[in-house]
Chains A and B, each alone.
Chain A
Amino acid sequence: MKTMTKLALGAAAATILLGTANAGETLDAVRAKGHVQCGISTGVAGFAFTDDKGDWQGFDPAVCKAVAAAIFGDTNAVKYTTTTGKTRFTALSSGEVDMLARNTTWTFSRDTDLKLDFVGVNYYDGQGFMVPTALGVASATELDGASVCIQTGTTTELNLADFFRINKISYEAVPIETNDEAQTNYKAGRCDVYTTDASGLAATRSTFENPDEHMLLPEIISKEPLGPLVRHGDSEWADVVRWVLNAMITAEEFGVTSENVDKMATGTENPEINRLLGSEGDLGAMIGLDKAWAWRAIKMVGNYGEVFEEFIGSETPIGLERGINGLWTKGGILYSPPFR
């Protein structure tokens, strides 16, 4: 009995020691190694792609770059690890990457049971279906007996099973590892339908030779709030990533852009802008950064709206409308907590 008690005490002590050592350690580790290790997808047009210099660009890497800009003042202080739908959570919880920014849906079990922390939403999405126009299908409920290409290890896989079960229709799931493979199989006619988040479908469709020969079905069968996430248990690091994202959204709300941020940083009439950009108060110190953290992120990466328009907006081949991803002041549901 005595040894058991001792063992239990020892274990408890070890747990407590480890527990305290955890707090804030990611930020320190990131500072020590001089870069943010960021997990991204293997490539989705607009959302994550390599430019002609081999550097990762897109809507998701922009979050990583903004975090790097806030900490180091250098958008190149990011190293990327490409992850598939299957490897991403293991990569994050094992500490291989510091944060994930790769169209990952915020769900209850991922946030709790998988011991991850979602820090916000950078794209409100929903699962859709893409079919060749020639198939002559007008609604997803007509898809009885169809073959459906799907990326494994995603929430879409679960939604799909639910949708077909609820509607009492059958299908053949064709499991695929990456977005590229899914496209190849879809184009070769291995499956009739490709399903993933509607934004991903629009991005994929834009890369086809004849986008007009493919259409998205009207059904959106799920809520897919996509956002960056970090490991559970290091709230300080979660705060950094969360508030960098919020800074980008708030910047758009108050009209702070990468163009005018220098001028605004000298002081404006609006105290919230001043607090955001560091000319008033010292919010940066509260998350372990300096005063100019948000200024650097906005200056080097841009505000939310700029990033959206640059990579996936209506002027780009992806051609996504802002829709519900607009600011709350403009009919959308993007709403950042105040900087105070």
Chain B
Amino acid sequence: MSNALQTPVAPPRNGFSLGKIWTDKRSRGVIIQIFATAAFFAFIFWLLRNAVANFETLGKPFGFDFLWQESNYDINQHLIEYDSRSSHFRAGVVGVLNTLLVAVCGIVLSTILGFILGVLRLSPNWLVNRLSYCYIEFVRNVPVLVHILLIHGILVHALPGVKAVLKGATDDASQQFFLTNRGFYVPRPIFESGIWLVVAAIIGGIAIAMWYRRQARIKQADTGEQSPVFWMSVLAILGLPIVAYFLAGQPIQWDAPVPGRFNFKGGMALKPEFLALWLALSLYTAAFIAENVRSGIEAVSQGQTEAAHALGLPRGRTMNLVIIPQALRVIIPPLTSQYLNITKNSSLAIAIGYMDIVATIGGITLNQTGREMECMIIVLSLYLMFSLTISLLMNWYNKRIALVER
């Protein structure tokens, strides 16, 4: 629209002429864009064709058939059924799940830690605020790989050796939790058929809590009376499943780890590789998130706090109802990029032997089958997919909490 205003096109005197397409600013712009796009795609196509042709010259035809061959290697941490007889594809799925596991756990922990640190950083208490400041400056100025190696080193070298713990466990059979340098062993839940009642109770509890919250809002809008929303929610979400658990005859059995000759048998283990990666990524990213949170809170003008206080809102409510909702608008966009960083940094797992997607498809499978191009394409597209999904979710959330303009 504005273009038309800036360049008034003279009415064509002698009809259409080819030269005018080029002299006209608008059509020239379109032509240049068409050519640039075509050249770009031609370049990409040329690159890909070249690569495929080179591989074929080498005698390695491009294709993904190798994914269905037997993988022949074992993976120490797998969330789904897997052994060395499974296919490379399944090994890839195990890797994807391991990547997602550490990414999701990392995002949760780093968000919690980051918010706490960010708020502490603004505390009027000098000691608390300095401690938080020192932590943030120390952690975020050391590369994350160093953190990973450091924490892995501490876990493997400083935690008690498995032999001593095994001996202790044999002497005292009542123990159920064991912390060793081969992992943190805990009892594994075995679900029996009655478990559906508990699951239903959890879902029902959440639904009741949400319903109660809405009723409380309506009631407050009508009468100004407040209801104990928090405690009622806790009661519904926790209380109901507990009642259901006992009604269904305690449908969860615990498979406790028992000492074997070399390791504990049974139970579940959090391996030092997972722990190291998870903690390192979370602690590192939390420092960045803390700074985001601080900047978000500081971006809310002091006048807002004063106004809230003047209305008689106590400190906690001022924070929850006035400051945080406004701060979130500043916090969310950079938070998204921190979440992306956690997901991508999880590929450093390779340094300590955590079997993520880079270690399985991008590592052992690549090495055993020699399909560099294909494996790298798979790994690349997967990371792209993870990142785009996170961006999508965060953008949706960002839109939801954005200032509604009337």
How many B residues face the partner with a CB closer than 8 A?
A: 40
Q: Is B297 an interface residue (CB 8 A)?
A: no
Q: Is A188 a contact partner of B156 (Cβ separation < 8 A)?
A: yes
When distances are taken between beta carbons in the complex, the residues of chain A under 8 Å from B73 are: 157-158, 161, 173
Residue in B84, B363, B366 whose CB lies within 8 Å of A165? B84
Q: Is A158 a contact partner of B72 (Cβ separation < 8 A)?
A: yes
Q: CB within 8 Å of B: which of A127-146?
A: 135, 143-146
When distances are taken between beta carbons in the complex, the residues of chain A under 8 Å from B182 are: 147, 172, 189-190
When distances are taken between beta carbons in the complex, the residues of chain A under 8 Å from B161 are: 189
Map CB proximity to B onto A221-255 as digits: 1 under 8 Å, 0 otherwise: 00000000000110000000000000000000000
Q: Is B370 a contact partner of A115 (Cβ separation < 8 A)?
A: yes
CB contact under 8 A between A185 and B156, given known A147-B182, A173-B76, A177-B353: yes
Residue in A90, A110, A165, A172 whose CB lies within 8 Å of B76? A172
- In the complex, identify which listed stretch (B20-28, B53-61, B101-109) lies at the interface while the others stay far away: B53-61
- In the complex, identify which listed stretch (B257-265, B334-342, B394-402) lies at the interface while the others stay far away: B257-265
Q: Is A190 a contact partner of B181 (Cβ separation < 8 A)?
A: yes
When distances are taken between beta carbons in the complex, the residues of chain B under 8 Å from A185 are: 156
Residue in A110, A115, A171 whose CB lies within 8 Å of B59? A115
Q: Is A162 a contact partner of B72 (Cβ separation < 8 A)?
A: yes
When distances are taken between beta carbons in the complex, the residues of chain A under 8 Å from B181 are: 188-190
Cα distance, A86 to B60, chains bound together (Å): 19
Q: Is A14 a contact partner of B359 (Cβ separation < 8 A)?
A: no
* Minimum distance in angstroms from B71 CB to a CB of chain A: 9
Map CB proximity to B onto A103-142 as digits: 1 under 8 Å, 0 otherwise: 0000001100111000000000000000000010000000
CB contact under 8 A between A93 and B84, given known A145-B260, A147-B262: no
* Minimum distance in angstroms from B77 CB to a CB of chain A: 9
Name the residue of chain B whose CB is nearest to the CB of A14: B53
* Minimum distance in angstroms from B9 CB to a CB of chain A: 41
Q: Is A59 an interface residue (CB 8 A)?
A: no
CB contact under 8 A between A152 and B363, given known A18-B57, A188-B157: yes
Q: Is B355 an interface residue (CB 8 A)?
A: yes
Q: CB within 8 Å of A: which of B165-205?
A: 181-182
Q: Is A113 a contact partner of B353 (Cβ separation < 8 A)?
A: no
When distances are taken between beta carbons in the complex, the residues of chain A under 8 Å from B353 are: 152, 174-177
CB contact under 8 A between A11 and B53, given known A173-B74, A177-B351: yes
Name the residue of chain A whose CB is nearest to the CB of B372: A90
Map CB proximity to A onto B324-354 as digits: 1 under 8 Å, 0 otherwise: 0000000000000000000000000011010
* Minimum distance in angstroms from B148 CB to a CB of chain A: 13
Q: Is A72 an interface residue (CB 8 A)?
A: no
Q: Is A115 a contact partner of B57 (Cβ separation < 8 A)?
A: no
When distances are taken between beta carbons in the complex, the residues of chain A under 8 Å from B163 are: 189
Q: Is B58 a contact partner of A233 (Cβ separation < 8 A)?
A: yes
Q: CB within 8 Å of B: which of A11-57?
A: 11, 14-15, 18-19
Name the residue of chain B whose CB is nearest to the CB of A146: B262
When distances are taken between beta carbons in the complex, the residues of chain A under 8 Å from B162 are: 189
Name the residue of chain B whose CB is nearest to the CB of A170: B265
Q: Is A93 a contact partner of B58 (Cβ separation < 8 A)?
A: yes
CB contact under 8 A between A158 and B368, given known A145-B262, A174-B353: yes
Name the residue of chain A whose CB is nearest to the CB of B49: A11
When distances are taken between beta carbons in the complex, the residues of chain B under 8 Å from A192 are: 262
Cα distance, A109 to B367, chains bound together (Å): 11
Q: CB within 8 Å of B: which of A87-112?
A: 89-90, 93, 109-110
* Minimum distance in angstroms from A12 CB to a CB of chain B: 11
Q: Is A177 a contact partner of B262 (Cβ separation < 8 A)?
A: no
When distances are taken between beta carbons in the complex, the residues of chain B under 8 Å from A110 are: 370
Cα distance, A190 to B355, chains bound together (Å): 16
Q: Is B308 an interface residue (CB 8 A)?
A: no
Q: Is A85 an interface residue (CB 8 A)?
A: yes
Q: Is B57 a contact partner of A19 (Cβ separation < 8 A)?
A: yes
Q: Is B75 a contact partner of A173 (Cβ separation < 8 A)?
A: yes
Chain A residues close to B by CB (< 8 Å): 11, 14-15, 18-19, 85-86, 89-90, 93, 109-110, 113-115, 135, 143-147, 152-153, 157-158, 160-162, 164-165, 171-177, 185, 188-190, 192, 232-233
A-B contact pairs, 25 of them (CB 8 A): A18-B57, A19-B57, A89-B370, A90-B366, A115-B59, A135-B262, A145-B265, A146-B261, A152-B353, A152-B359, A153-B363, A153-B364, A153-B368, A157-B74, A158-B72, A162-B72, A173-B75, A175-B76, A175-B353, A177-B353, A189-B156, A189-B162, A189-B182, A233-B58, A233-B59
The 6 closest A-B pairs by CB, nearest first: A161-B84, A114-B370, A153-B367, A146-B262, A175-B353, A189-B161
